[in-house]
Amino acid sequence: MTISLFIEQILNGLQFGVMLFLMSAGLTLVFGVMGLINLAHGSFYMIGAFAAALFAELTGSFLIAMIASFVAALFAGALTELIIIRKIYKRDHLDQVLATFALILLFSEGIRWIFGAYPLYLDIPNSLSSSFNLPFEIIYSKYRMMIILVGIIIAIILYFLISKTLIGIRIKAGQNDREMIGALGVDVTKLYTIVFSLGAALAGLAGALIGAIQSVEVGMGEPVLILAFVVIVIGGIGSIKGAFVGALLVGITDTMGRFLLPSFFSYFFDNASATSIGSSIASMSIYILMATVLIFKPSGLYGVKK
């Protein structure tokens, strides 16, 4: 194993983590501010990817496709919030789980109805399809580098949005005391719609960015949703900082686990069983990470103890 391969894998972990952050940011805010468990968050990821694929085919422009993904998920989020979600904020978590589970069925089958059963085409633009040559003979994909940059920029924007702007202060106040900000004359309903749609839009953008290098298909959101929940639980629910740290932890653990564990086991077993055992444990690694974190910090790394 060479140093350059090792660094390249760290970068891959980082890129995966940053993408998870885009997914988790909305989820953690929606839970922190509105107290809503939103299983349908993965559907916005899917909607973003499908919108991007559609607009990429219509216009041929990758940038327009990305904007379309953001806008489509924003609208889908707003619409869902207005029609259904706002009716269940005050409900039990269980009702929320059931309703948003039903939304998954609705969105997935709805998309399949419209776009058909086979995956759609979405590819990255030519200008980003080559690789960089970094120091230490590291070769790294321009597109993945761009994902890392976009993710970090969005993280910084979100950080300022929440700590410096009026709406951020309201969001934070909402996390601490929901009744109070209403009493202070803040339009809570509008605030909730904004937060929910913004979270959905970020998920949609993540779906489009990732759909371009993976695949755009029905059901693509749910595995990512589970990972995003893992992230926000590790980071501590409601904390953007926690989501960021948790996302990077999960991204790097998963990537490095897949990379290192099989070669680690090859010291003990023959090659075929080592790769098999190694990859079995690698696929469990993030759940082991999460269970360990929660055993020692029951409210996640940056969570507030209630």
How far apart are CB 34 and other proteins at their closest, in Å? 13
Closest CA to 289 of 13, 6, 1, 12: 13
Touching other proteins, residues 185-244 (CB under 8 A)? 210, 212-220, 223, 226, 229-230, 233, 237
**What are the phi and psi torsion angles at 216 (to 5°)?**
-105, 100
* Contact range with other proteins by CB under 8 A, out of 60-68, 148-156, 168-176, 295-303: 295-303
Among 3, 59, 63, 109, binds other proteins (CB under 8 A): 109
How far apart are CB 279 and other proteins at their closest, in Å? 4
Among 82, 131, 169, 172, binds other proteins (CB under 8 A): 131
Touching other proteins, residues 133-162 (CB under 8 A)? 139, 141, 143-144
How far apart are CB 174 and other proteins at their closest, in Å? 17
Of the two residues 181 and 290, which places its CB atom closer to other proteins in the complex?
290
CA distance 198 to 194: 6
Max CA-CA distance within the chain? 68
Touching other proteins, residues 238-267 (CB under 8 A)? 255, 258-259, 262
Q: Does 31 bind other proteins (CB under 8 A)?
A: yes
User: What SS3 class is residue 139?
Assistant: strand
Among 59, 93, 157, 163, binds other proteins (CB under 8 A): 93
Among 3, 58, 101, 177, binds other proteins (CB under 8 A): 101
How far apart are CB 200 and other proteins at their closest, in Å? 17
Of the two residues 131 and 169, which places its CB atom closer to other proteins in the complex?
131
User: What is 1-27 written as a DSSP string?
Assistant: --HHHHHHHHHHHHHHHHHHHHHHHHH
Of the two residues 7 and 169, which places its CB atom closer to other proteins in the complex?
7
Block residue for tokens 């350059």: 4
User: What SS3 class is residue 216?
Assistant: strand
In sequence order, what are the residues at sequence separation of 6 or more whose Cβ sits closer than 8 angstroms to the Cβ of residue 97? 37, 39
> How many Å from the N-terminal Cα to the C-terminal Cα in the chain?
46
CA distance 50 to 213: 13
How far apart are CB 275 and other proteins at their closest, in Å? 5
Of the two residues 179 and 270, which places its CB atom closer to other proteins in the complex?
270
172-178, Cβ contacts within 8 angstroms, sequence gap of 24 or more: 174/33, 174/34, 175/32, 175/33, 175/238, 178/35
